[in-house]
C-alpha cells in the first residue's frame, strides 16, 4: 500500500507545476553520434562534461521535474567529486534511468525492431532504487512503411513494455512507457494517427494484462504528425487536434501524465505543437500534457557548447531557455517572441 502511494506521488510530481522531463539518457553510441556531428571528442570525459553542464544549469528545476540518465551517467561525478545523482536530488530534480538495452533487429521481420533488456532487469532496478533513482524509461520503436508495422512487432514490443513496467512498479520505480512511432517516411497525418492509436491500444491492453497500476506510470508517446518526407505537411492545429483525439481514444483517464518525446522535430516546432495542444484542449483533458524531450531541449545547447569550456554558461542559458519555453507551452503561454527575446 505504501509503495502504491509512493508510485502515485512520484508520477504526479513528475508532471506537477507545468514542469516536464529532460531526457539525457542517450546511449554512448547515440551520444557519440551527436558529438561527432559537432566535432566534439567522443570520449567518456566529454560525455561526463556535457552531462555536468546540463545538471548544473542554474535554476533548471524551475521547469524540469525529472531527468532521465543513462547507466554510465548515473555512476558519474561532478569534477568536484559530488555524484551526479546527488546534484540532481539537491536541485529538486528527480533522477530517472533508461533501462532498456536498445532496439534490435526483429527475427522474421526485416525492417522492424524489438527492444531488449528484460533479462536481469529486476536486479538492475533494485540497484538503481538503492542509488536514489525513482523512475525508469523503456523505449519501443515502431517504424512505418509499406506493409509495416506488423502485428508481430506491435504486440511483442507492447508486451515487453508491460513486463518492464510491472517490474518497475515492483521495485518502487515509476515506469515511463515509451512506444515511439517514428517520424521517418512519407506517411500521412491520418496514417500516423491510425498506427499510433493501434500501438497505444495494444500497449494499454498489455499493461492491463500484466497488472500495471496506471495511476503510477507516465506515458511517453510520439506526437501524431505526417512523416518527414510526406508531401502534405500539417499545421500546428492539425497536429494538435490529431494528437489529442488519438490520445483521448486510446489512453485511460487514470494515467496522470503524458510526456511527449520530440523524435527529431526542431526544438521550436515541438514546443509550438505542445502549446497548441494545451491551448486548444487543456481544460477538457483527464491527464497532463507534458514533455520528455531529449533533442528538443538539448540540441540547441549542444550546438552552443560544441565542447568549448568558455561556452558553458551560454549553453546553460540556451538549455534553461528551452526548458522554460516548454513549461510555457504547458500553460499555453508560449509565443515565438520568447525566442527573439532570448536572442536579444
Q: Interface residues for ligand 13P in 129-158 (CB under 6 A)?
A: 139
- Residue 30: closest CA among 78, 101, 105, 119: 101
Give me 329's grid cell.
Answer: 507551452
**C-beta of 37: minimal distance to ligand 13P in Å?**
14
DSSP state of 263: T
- One character per residue 108-127, x = contact with ligand 13P (rule: CB under 6 A): --------------------
3-class SS at 316?
A: helix
* Helix 151-170 and helix 121-130, axial crossing angle in degrees, nearest 10: 40
Give me 99's grid cell.
Answer: 533501462
**C-beta of 28: minimal distance to ligand 13P in Å?**
14
Q: Where are the alpha helices (DSSP H) in 79-235?
A: 84-91, 121-130, 151-170, 189-209
Indicate if 26 belongs to the active site.
no
**C-beta of 324: minimal distance to ligand 13P in Å?**
17
Specify whether the CB–CB gap between 255 and 217 falls below 8 A.
yes
Q: Interface residues for ligand 13P in 13-52 (CB under 6 A)?
A: 23, 25
Cell 517514428, residue located: 182
Q: Interface residues for ligand 13P in 164-223 (CB under 6 A)?
A: 178
Complex with ligand 13P: residue 77 or 268, whichever CB lies closer: 268
Indicate if 220 belongs to the active site.
yes
**C-beta of 96: minimal distance to ligand 13P in Å?**
10
Q: Is 273 in the site for ligand 13P (CB under 6 A)?
A: no
**C-beta of 152: minimal distance to ligand 13P in Å?**
22
* Only segment of 1-9, 44-52, 108-116, 257-265 that touches ligand 13P (CB under 6 A): 257-265
- 164 preceded by cis ω (within 30°)? no
Whole-angstrom Cα distance, residue 67 to residue 307? 21
- Residue 303: closest CA among 293, 292, 314, 289: 314
Q: Kindly name the residue from 26, 52, 178, 180 that is annotated as catalytic.
A: 178
Sole binder of ligand 13P in the list 53, 192, 294, 329 (CB under 6 A): 294
Give the number of residues in contact with ligand 13P, rule: CB under 6 A.
11
3-class SS at 313?
A: helix
Sole binder of ligand 13P in the list 76, 202, 262, 316 (CB under 6 A): 262
Sole binder of ligand 13P in the list 34, 124, 295, 322 (CB under 6 A): 295
Whole-angstrom Cα distance, residue 79 to residue 166? 36
Binding site residues, ligand 13P, CB under 6 A: 23, 25, 139, 178, 261-263, 293-296
Catalytic sites, residue numbers: 178, 220
Amino acid at each position: 500500500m505504501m509503495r502504491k502511494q509512493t508510485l502515485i506521488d512520484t508520477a504526479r510530481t513528475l508532471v506537477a507545476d507545468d514542469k516536464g522531463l529532460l531526457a539525457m539518457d542517450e546511449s554512448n553510441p547515440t551520444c557519440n553520434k551527436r558529438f561527432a556531428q559537432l566535432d566534439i571528442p567522443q570520449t567518456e570525459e566529454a560525455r561526463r562534461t556535457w552531462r555536468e553542464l546540463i545538471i548544473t544549469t542554474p535554476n533548471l528545476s524551475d521547469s524540469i521535474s525529472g531527468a532521465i540518465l543513462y547507466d554510465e551517467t548515473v555512476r558519474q561525478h561532478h569534477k568536484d567529486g559530488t555524484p551526479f545523482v546527488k546534484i540532481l536530488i539537491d536541485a529538486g530534480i528527480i533522477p530517472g534511468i533508461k533501462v532498456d538495452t536498445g532496439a534490435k533487429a526483429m527475427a522474421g521481420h526485416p525492417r522492424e525492431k524489438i527492444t531488449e533488456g528484460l533479462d536481469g532487469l529486476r536486479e538492475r532496478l533494485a540497484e538503481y532504487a538503492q542509488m536514489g533513482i525513482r523512475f525508469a524509461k523503456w523505449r519501443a520503436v515502431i517504424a512505418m512503411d509499406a506493409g509495416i508495422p506488423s502485428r508481430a512487432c506491435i504486440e511483442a514490443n507492447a508486451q515487453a513494455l508491460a513486463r518492464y513496467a510491472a517490474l518497475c512498479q515492483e521495485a518502487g520505480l515509476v515506469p515511463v512507457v515509451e512506444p515511439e512511432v517514428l517520424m521517418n517516411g512519407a506517411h500521412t497525418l491520418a496514417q500516423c494517427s491510425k498506427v499510433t492509436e493501434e500501438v497505444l491500444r495494444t500497449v494499454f491492453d498489455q499493461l492491463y494484462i500484466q497488472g500495471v497500476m496506471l495511476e503510477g506510470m507516465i506515458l511517453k508517446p510520439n506526437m501524431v504528425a505526417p512523416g518527414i518526407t510526406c508531401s502534405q505537411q500539417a499545421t500546428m492545429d492539425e497536429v494538435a487536434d490529431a494528437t489529442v483525439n488519438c490520445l483521448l481514444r486510446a489512453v485511460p483517464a487514470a494515467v496522470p501524465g503524458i510526456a511527449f518525446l520530440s523524435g527529431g522535430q526542431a526544438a521550436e516546432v515541438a514546443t509550438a505543437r505542445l502549446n497548441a495542444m494545451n491551448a486548444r484542449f487543456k481544460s477538457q483533458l483527464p491527464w497532463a500534457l507534458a514533455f520528455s524531450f531529449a533533442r528538443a531541449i538539448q540540441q540547441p545547447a549542444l550546438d552552443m557548447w560544441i565542447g568549448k569550456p568558455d561556452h558553458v554558461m551560454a549553453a546553460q542559458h540556451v538549455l534553461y531557455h528551452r526548458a522554460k519555453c516548454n513549461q510555457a507551452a504547458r500553460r499555453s503561454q508560449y509565443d515565438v517572441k520568447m525566442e527573439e527575446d532570448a536572442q536579444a
